């Protein structure tokens, strides 16, 4: 099976976008790259480098802003560093992990390829593209280092993996869903307009979709808490609410599972910030 053979470019205002489909076997995952005002937001996965590099080669990339360290977002950072040497920025807590080659389960190597180590500089409160300043809002939950980039004047939001889908039913075991909920609440205190999601693509009304996801998570959190207080075990709640398991649960050898989603909803407290 050839990998990542589908790609589409799109211009949305001053944002250039590239959509790639990254295959492992018959299954694929979507990824969207964004370039705005001399700044690349995340670098896309290494597995789709053949589609991504020609897109990057046509751009004058001065800055790379990374939303978080995951390999689908950082897979081409090393190549960019070697070829163009832009300033590459990430949350300070992820600098060390980025300096080393990525360590993660085999199925993620198949979908996303192998992320090589690279040097990143710390993002404090904002990141600067050629002519625009982007607020870096700490939005943990999906990963501890997660940032979104927000432009106050236009309401544009690069949301990394904060959104992805309005109704998640599975999660990675490392994720904290109550913390994701708090992060969405934080972002909703800003005047959000257009949203650029790494896996769902362009979302014209970012605020509406983030509100929709938060409402769903609040409702689901109440439902799960209610069943737990009635005396059901985590296993019983999972079996009742999510009787069918997702193909990703199988493929990921349970790194992604509705069981993690249920456990996180019962056990996790939002992170202290």
Which residues lie near Zn ion (CB under 5 A)? 70, 161
DSSP percent split of the chain into helix, strand, coil, nearest 5: 35, 25, 40
| Tokens, residue 129 | 């593209």
Q: How far is the CB of 87 from Zn ion (least distance, A)?
A: 22
Nearer to Zn ion among residue 42 and residue 182 (C-beta): 42
Closest contact distance (angstroms) between CB of 75 and Zn ion is 12
Query: Least distance in Å: CB of 172 to Zn ion?
Result: 8
Minimal CA–CA distance to 260: which of 268, 250, 251, 271?
268
User: Do 206 and 195 meet the contact criterion of CB atoms below 8 Å apart?
Assistant: yes
d(CA 250, CA 247): 5
Instruction: Give the residue with the Cβ less far from Zn ion, 70 or 108.
Output: 70
Q: Among 138, 146, 159, which Cα is nearest to 41's?
A: 159
Nearer to Zn ion, 146 or 151 (CB): 146
For 243, residues 6+ apart whose C-beta sits below 8 A from its C-beta are: none
**In which order are the strands placed within the sheet that holds 157-160?**
126-128, 133-138, 147-150, 157-160, 195-197, 201-203
Nearer to Zn ion (CB atom), residue 66 or residue 262: 66
Q: How far is the CB of 183 from Zn ion (least distance, A)?
A: 13
Minimum distance of Zn ion from residue 22's CB (angstroms): 13
Phi/psi of residue 165, nearest 5 degrees: -150, 145
Shortest separation between residue 142's beta carbon and Zn ion, angstroms: 6
Residue nearest Zn ion, CB atom distance: 70
Nearer to Zn ion, 112 or 227 (CB): 112
Between helix 234-241 and helix 258-267 the angle, nearest 10°, is 130
For Zn ion, the closer CB: 180 or 266: 180
CA–CA separation, 69 vs 115, rounded Å? 10
Smallest distance from the beta carbon of 231 to Zn ion, in angstroms?
35
In the complex with Zn ion, which residue's Cβ is closer, 70 or 260?
70
Please check whether residue 36 is in contact with residue 83, taking contact to mean a CB–CB distance below 8 angstroms: no
């Amino acid at each position: 099976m050839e990998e990542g053979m589908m790609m589409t470019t799109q211009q949305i205002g001053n944002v250039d976008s590239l959509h790639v489909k990254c295959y492992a076997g018959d299954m694929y995952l979507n990824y969207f790259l964004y370039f705005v005002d001399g700044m690349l937001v995340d670098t896309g996965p290494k597995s789709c480098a053949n589609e991504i590099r020609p897109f990057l080669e046509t751009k004058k990339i001065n800055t790379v802003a990374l939303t978080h360290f995951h390999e689908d977002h950082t897979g081409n950072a090393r190549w960019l560093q070697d070829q163009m040497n832009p300033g590459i920025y990430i949350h300070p807590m992820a600098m060390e992990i980025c300096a080393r080659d990525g360590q993660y389960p085999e199925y993620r190597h198949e979908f996303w390829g192998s992320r090589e180590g690279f040097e990143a500089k710390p993002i404090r409160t904002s990141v600067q593209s050629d002519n625009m300043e982007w607020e870096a809002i700490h939005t943990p939950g999906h990963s501890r280092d997660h940032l979104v980039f927000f432009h106050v004047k236009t309401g544009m939001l690069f949301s990394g993996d904060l959104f992805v889908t309005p109704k998640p039913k599975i999660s990675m075991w490392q994720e904290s869903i109550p913390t994701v909920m708090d992060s969405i609440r934080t972002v909703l205190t800003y005047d959000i307009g257009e949203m650029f999601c790494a896996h769902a693509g362009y979302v014209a009304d970012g605020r509406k979709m983030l509100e929709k996801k938060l409402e769903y998570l609040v409702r689901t959190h109440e439902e799960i808490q209610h069943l737990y207080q009635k005396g059901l075990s985590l296993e019983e709640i999972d079996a009742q609410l999510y009787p069918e398991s997702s193909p990703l649960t199988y493929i990921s050898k349970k790194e992604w599972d509705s069981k993690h989603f249920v456990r996180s909803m019962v056990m996790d407290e939002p992170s202290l910030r």
